[in-house]
Each structure stands twice: as structure tokens, then as C-alpha cells.
Chain A
Amino acid sequence: MCDLKQSRYEQAHMKTTLSLWSIFKAPFWLFVVSLAGIMLALFVDSTWDWLATLLVSSAVAIPVFFYLRAKFS
């Protein structure tokens, strides 16, 4: 647990400057997934709507995850 906290701290306060791709890798994939969900819901109906909703809700789940992690770690 202590090691995990330590690594998170190090991760959060890196001494080196991150590359452009390192900064935007996660946001890029999140953008693609949530946009895919928004568009998918236009082309499908009924049960497939849930898959679309799930994809869009990644934009909700990720900040909630980091909020909870910051709050309770």
C-alpha cells in the first residue's frame, strides 16, 4: 500500500517533462471512445443503445475515478 502511494506520488510529480503523446495519449483515446458512443447511438437502437451509452459514460467514469482516488488515497 505504501509502495503504491509512493509510486502515485512520484507519478504525479514527475521531474522530467512529458512528451506530447504522453500528455495526450489518455485524453485522445477517451475522446475517440466517447465520440464513438455519441455517434453510435445515432445509428443503432434498443439494446445497442446501451453499448453507446457505456462508451459515452467513459467520459463520466474516468474523472469520477480520479476524484475518488484523490479523495481516499
Chain B
Amino acid sequence: MQATAIKRWEWIHKWSSLISTAFLLMLCITGLPLIFHDEIDAALNPDTWTPANPQAEHLKLDQILEIALQARPGEAPIYMSFDTERPVVNVTSGPSADAPGNQMHFASYDLTSGNIVPPANVGEDFMEFILQLHTDMFLGLPGMLFLGAMGILFVLASISGVVIYRQYMRNLAFGTVRQSKSKRLKWLDYHNLLGITSLAWVLVVSITGVINTLEKPILETWRSQNLDKLIESYNEAAVSKNKTIASVDASLDKAIEAARQAAPDMTLQFVAFPGSEFSTRQHLAIFLHGNSPFTKEIITPVLVDATDGKVIGKQEMPWYANALSLSRPLHFGDYGGLGLKIVWAILNSFTIAILITGLYLWWKKHVRLKAKQV
């Protein structure tokens, strides 16, 4: 490789790293507890709850919805989701279906009695703070997009790092650590070794992180293009962006049953009510997922008219929405059991070491060059 090309790659590596290092350090540090989110939740909130009437027939979802809305007078339903291990239904409500996240209220209900299930929220404030810091630094969409840009810089730093790795390693065997040489060389060797060995993980986590930062634009595009297309195919006149949010007159149980018939081999995941981020202003969007380890990450909506309960249709999510669905587990490493989470955490710690050694190497070089100039 020509000297000018090497210098160019070194320049890219230096600046893409320097600009993003502080933010990447924050992302790595806040990412550590997020990897073990489930374990931390379980440790802080030991599950002592039991259903009131374990043998009793489950209440209808319409009844649960009624109980939930009676408990929150004046509020509208936004989402309903289902606990996979307990007979529990979660209802999210708010002042309106399109209320922002901080105005939403979440409550869980016992399907055997309709009683409220005590919230498992010890430590929730802390984890919520960490998640928010990691996701958007409390800045909403601009914060998310900014962190996405930092993720792109990290991908660039990783790729340029591989290119200049060749220069540093042309006379050294793989894995060489010059322990007896200067501290700078030793740190350089560790920086190179950790960087090249964790490359696949770093690229996967940073690229999926960038995709996750595009969540809002992706959902907006999906809603405006795919959902509207689905409705148009059913009844063109039904598409009206200015229409007020429809009330749910149809039976929720019947709507879910109809959705299950439209997607017989799938499992119910959640219901988005009219006006919410995942639905239109006139429809219940009933989301189902597949049953294999891979397809359970992919959700498919069935749209049901909120007024008469008629199924509008089922449509596979577009590729970019599926990419978003797959990016979540691939980013947080919570899809392969505790063992994978531990490996994820170690590789996350390696990335912290790569960032710190990189900063140290830059500083040493900077000081040396300054001394030369003097």
C-alpha cells in the first residue's frame, strides 16, 4: 500500500475514533447493565405473585380492558400485551392513544380475577435512566440520530483499523504482545489484538445499534407506506389521515380470534389500539410472531376495523422493519441464554479497553510530536 494511502487511512482511523470515543464509552458502560436487564429485574423483584384463582376460567380480554379503563378514568387504551409465563395481561393507557411515552400508564391484570398484579418495579427508575441515556441521551429523536452517527463513525474506525492493522503487523506474528518493550508498544499490541479479535462482534453490535437509532423513522415509514397500502387494498375510501381516532366498538376477543384465524400458525404478541404508534387511527393492529427461534423475532400485523371487528388484512413487515426487529436482540445479546450474555459483556469490556488504549496511544503520540516541535 502506498504511503499516502496509509496516511489517509490513519487519518480516518484517528478522527473517526477521537470524535466518537466519549460517546462510545458512555454507550459501552450503559450497555453493560442493559445486557443483564432481565437478570437484574428478576433479582430485584423476586416473583412471589400467584394468580387469585389458578383453576378458574380466564376472563375475557374485553372485561380486562373495561377494568383497566375504569381504573384510569378518561384515558384511552394504547397497547395490550401478554405475559408468556403467567396468566397476566398488560394494559398501557394514556390521555390519548397518541400520547408520548412519558404520559403512558402501564398496569398488569390477573386474567383469573381481574385484580391488579403488583408492579415489579424495584430498580425500574435506574434501569429506565440507563436505557434512556443509552438510547437518546434524553434528547429524543435528535439524540438517537446523533448516537447513530457516532455508531457510523465507530464502524468507520473499525474498518480503517483493519486496514492499518496490516502495517503494524507486517513483521509480527498474530497475537504478539511486546511485553518487555515500551509501555506504548505493549498498549499498541493489546489495542491491535483486542480490536482484530472482536471485529465481528463490534461490527454486528455497532451496525445493529445504528439501525436501532432509526427506529422512529422506520416505524413512521412503515406506517405511512405499508399500513396505508393494506387499507387501500381493502377500501380506498377508508384512508383518511385527518380522521379522528376511532373508539373500539368491536369486541377485542372476537378481533383477536379473527386475527388468529388470518394467521393460524402464529402466536399473539400484542395489540396496538387505534391512534397508537403501531396502528392507524381507525384500526386495531394485532401483532403475531412466528414460533421458531428466528421467526419469533419477526412480527406480522393483522389489521382489524375497530368499529365492526372485520379483518382488513395481514401483511408481512417490510425488510427494513424486519431488520429493525432483528437488530434489537443482535444489539443487546439477549437471544441466546445467559452464556451468550456473559460473552457479550466480556466483549463489551474489551471494547472499553480498545477505546481507552486507543486514547492513550493518541495522547502519547500527540505529546511526542509536540515535544519534537519544541
Interface residues of A (CB under 8 A from B): 11-18, 20, 23-27, 30-32, 34-35, 38, 41-45, 49-50, 52-53, 56-57, 59-60, 62-63, 65-67, 69-71
Contacts and interface: CB of A to CB of B under 8 A. Distances in A.
Contacts of A18: 169-171
Nearest to B199: A31
Given A38-B201, A42-B294, A62-B175, 8 more contacts: A26-B175, A38-B200, A49-B337, A53-B339, A60-B347, A63-B194, A67-B190, A69-B177
B369 interface: no
B238 interface: no
A interface majority secondary structure: helix
A13 B196 CA distance: 19
Contacts of A44: 293
Contact of B171 (A14, A20, A70): A14
Interface of B: 162, 165-166, 169-179, 190, 193-194, 196-201, 204, 292-294, 297, 326, 329-330, 335-337, 339-340, 343, 346-347, 350
8 contacts: A27-B196, A30-B196, A30-B200, A35-B204, A44-B293, A53-B343, A59-B201, A66-B175
Contact of A63 (B165, B297, B326, B350): B350
Contacts of A53: 336-337, 339-340, 343
Contacts of B204: 35, 38
Contacts of A43: 292-294
A23 B343 contact: no
Contacts of A42: 293-294, 297, 326, 329-330, 335
A16 B173 CA distance: 11
